[in-house]
Structure formats: C-alpha cells, structure tokens
C-alpha cells in the first residue's frame, strides 16, 4: 500500500475517526484492481519501494517518483474508500451483520450515501487519469512502464487519453466513462475501420501517431481517423454502457433518488433519445470515415501501403479512370 496511516489518508479525503486497519484490505484491493493493472506490476513495485523508504534528501534521479506517488496515493485512497463503502456501516461478527449507528449520529439518506460513494469513484478514476498522463508525459523516466504489457494495453487503440476523446465526443471529461468505452474501441477498429482502410495501413497510421516527429503527410488522415473513431466508439458503446451481467443475467444499472427530497437523480434515457444520440454519433463517424477514404484515394501515391491494398484496388474503376461524382460515363 502507498499510504501507511490516517494522516496520509486525510491528505486526500475528509474522514473522521478512521481506523487504518479497517481500510487496509480495500486499499490493497484498489492497488490490485486498478493501479497495478494500469502502470504494470514492476513499475508499481518500484513506486512501493520508494514509498517504503523515501530518501532525505531525495536525489535528482528519484524526484520523478514524488509526483507519481502523490497521484497514485490519491487514486488508491479514493478507490479504496469506494470499495470499502458497502462495508463501512456494517459490522460482521459471529452474530451476523449489524448496522452501525451511534446515539448522536444517524445514518445519512440513501441518496447522500450513493452520492458520496460515487464521488469516491469519480475522484479515484480522475486521479488514475492524472497518474497515466504523468507517466505518458515523462515516459523516458519510467522505463519499467514503457516496456511493460500495461503500456501496450494503454496505447493499443487510436485514442489513448480521455481529454483527446472528450474534445471530439464529449463524455464529461470522465476517465471512468472513457475506460468503459474502451472495450468497444477494439470492435470499431476490427469490424469498421480495418475492413475499410486495410489492416496493414491502419496499423501504419497508429504507429505514426506514436512518433514524436510524425511525417507531415499523415496529419490530415490521422485527424480524420481520430474523429471517425471517437464518434463510432461512442455509438457502439452508448446502448450497452448501462447494461451489466450478473448470475441472474443482463440488468440495466441506474441510480434513482427515493428519499423524497427532489434531489437530482440519474435514470436511463428513453429509448427514442438513446437511438437518436447513437444515430447522430454513428452518422458523424461514417461521414469522417468517408472524408478520410476520399482523401486517401486522391493522395494514394503518398501512401504506398494503402495504394497496394485490396481496399484501394476495390475502389479503383476497372477501366482505369475515376468517374466519381461525374454525370456521364464513358463506354
């Protein structure tokens, strides 16, 4: 764990009367479920070793770990309390489960509890986003992360950062939403983009995105590709984001306020509005993809991989000239 006592916890969340021993199991679970998966086990172990024995003064070659530690601690604490929340008001003993409630303090309304729980989740995921941004921005200082499977997973799709996705298709700047959309990104790449652009050329574009000195000829195709990708991924995910599966089958997860105090609540949109939002996003994505294909066709000589692909050959008329948008046809 990256925090050792209540004083360190209080740097990130406001709590009273906390007992570090009751929170510890959930902090460990946050490390296992989130931090280690995102930064990689080896990078996490290096950070843990630094946390366990912080040198004083901190040498210059270790100062980059200070910034990472603060962000990781914030994520660990908030997500630890998010995981701890269902157990917080319950004592489990030989006599079963008992609700904790003192004489001078009464339990909060259900809606307030839910908001507090979701706030821990929201802040925790945003801290994870900041942590990942820090790692990406200082990649040369974190070789354990740069050479890890976690890095490969984090950079496997066309868009890797929340804010870049949000700039195209607004998702409330939420890393949690971005993470939930990610499984659908693979579907978009495999089933919608790869068949239209060619698998080899799509990988070429993705590789070019990662270069610090990308060739200028790729600028326009990459911009169009990212816009098509963001809208298509949003459309692919929108119908399913609220659907969860458990041992009873498929359920739709939403939150509703039953306290009678007219506080804001979250409920699924009516089907008509969902379909409308999905159709708009899908239409925008397809439009940008069409623009990209037209651009590539006109500039095919600049992109040999695309020009030699089957998708380009299929688009080229057999008689050797392009009759697109023409009113007459030669015979």
Q: Provide the 8-state DSSP code for 218.
A: G
Is-contact 85 119, C-beta < 8 A? no
DSSP annotation string for 253-271:
--B---SSS----B-PPPH
Mean pLDDT, residues 110-114 = 69
Is residue 313 over pLDDT 60?
A: yes
Q: How far is CA 113 from CA 100, 120, 223, 240, in A?
A: 14, 11, 43, 26
pTM listed for this prediction: 0.75
Is residue 91 over pLDDT 70?
A: no
Q: Which of 3, 145, 168 is nearest to 74 (CA)?
A: 3
DSSP annotation string for 82-95:
HHHHHHHTEEEETT
CB proximity list for 28: less than 8 A, separation 6 or greater:
1
CB proximity list for 77: less than 8 A, separation 6 or greater:
3, 9, 12, 13, 27, 124
- pLDDT band of residue 14 (cuts 50, 70, 90) is confident
DSSP annotation string for 223-239:
HHHHHHHHHHHHHHHHT
Is residue 283 over pLDDT 70?
A: yes
DSSP 3-state of 299: coil
Mean pLDDT, residues 134-153 = 94
pLDDT of residue 317: 53
- pLDDT band of residue 257 (cuts 50, 70, 90) is very low
Q: What percent of the chain has pLDDT over 90?
A: 54
If one compares 22 and 309, the residue with the highest pLDDT of the two is 309
Is residue 280 over pLDDT 80?
A: yes
* DSSP E strand boundaries for 43-186: 90-93, 96-99
Segment 286-310, tens digit of pLDDT: 999 999 999 999 999 999 999 999 9
pLDDT of residue 65: 96
Write down how long the chain is. 331
Both tokens of 46, joined, read: 């290096």
Cβ atoms within 10 Å of 274's Cβ, excluding its own: 14
Q: How far is CA 107 from CA 90, 100, 104, 264, in A?
A: 11, 8, 10, 20
pLDDT of residue 90: 59
- pLDDT band of residue 264 (cuts 50, 70, 90) is very low
Is-contact 70 11, C-beta < 8 A? no
Is residue 268 over pLDDT 60?
A: no
Is residue 324 over pLDDT 60?
A: no
State the Cα–Cα distance between residues 116 and 127, nearest whole angstrom: 16
The mean of the pLDDT values for the chain is 83
Q: Which of 157, 131, 16, 2 is nearest to 77 (CA)?
A: 2
Both tokens of 198, joined, read: 């060619």
Is-contact 174 162, C-beta < 8 A? yes
pLDDT of residue 263: 39
Is residue 316 over pLDDT 80?
A: no
pLDDT of residue 169: 94
Segment 176-202, tens digit of pLDDT: 889 889 999 999 999 999 999 999 999
Is-contact 69 4, C-beta < 8 A? no
Is residue 256 over pLDDT 70?
A: no
């Amino acid at each position: 764990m990256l925090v050792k006592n209540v004083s360190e916890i209080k740097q990130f969340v406001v709590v009273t009367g906390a007992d570090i021993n009751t929170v510890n199991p959930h902090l460990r679970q946050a490390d296992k479920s989130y931090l280690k998966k995102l930064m990689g086990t080896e990078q996490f172990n290096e950070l843990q070793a630094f946390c366990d024995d912080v040198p004083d003064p901190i040498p210059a070659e270790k100062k980059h770990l200070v910034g990472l530690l603060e962000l990781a601690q914030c994520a660990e604490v908030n997500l630890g309390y998010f995981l701890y929340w269902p157990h917080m008001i319950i004592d489990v003993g030989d006599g079963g489960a008992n609700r904790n409630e003192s004489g001078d303090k009464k339990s909060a309304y259900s809606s307030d509890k839910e908001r507090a729980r979701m706030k821990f989740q929201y802040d925790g995921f945003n801290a994870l986003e900041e942590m990942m941004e820090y790692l990406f921005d200082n990649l040369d200082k974190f070789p354990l992360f740069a050479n890890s499977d976690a890095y490969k997973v984090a950079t496997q799709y066309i868009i890797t950062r929340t804010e870049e996705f949000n700039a195209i298709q607004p998702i409330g700047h939420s890393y949690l939403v971005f993470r939930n959309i990610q499984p659908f990104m693979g579907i978009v790449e495999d089933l919608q983009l790869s068949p239209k652009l060619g698998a080899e050329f799509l990988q070429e574009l993705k590789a070019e995105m990662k270069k610090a000195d990308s060739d200028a000829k790729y600028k326009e195709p990459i911009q169009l590709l990212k816009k098509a990708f963001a809208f298509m991924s949003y459309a692919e995910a929108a119908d399913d984001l609220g659907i969860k599966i458990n041992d009873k089958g498929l359920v739709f997860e939403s939150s509703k306020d039953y306290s009678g105090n007219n506080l804001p609540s979250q409920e699924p949109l009516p089907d008509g509005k969902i379909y409308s939002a999905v159709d708009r996003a899908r239409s925008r994505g397809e439009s940008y993809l069409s623009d990209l294909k037209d651009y590539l066709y006109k500039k095919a000589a600049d992109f040999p991989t695309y020009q030699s692909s089957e998708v380009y050959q299929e688009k080229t008329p057999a008689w050797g000239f392009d009759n697109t948008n023409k009113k007459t046809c030669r015979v």
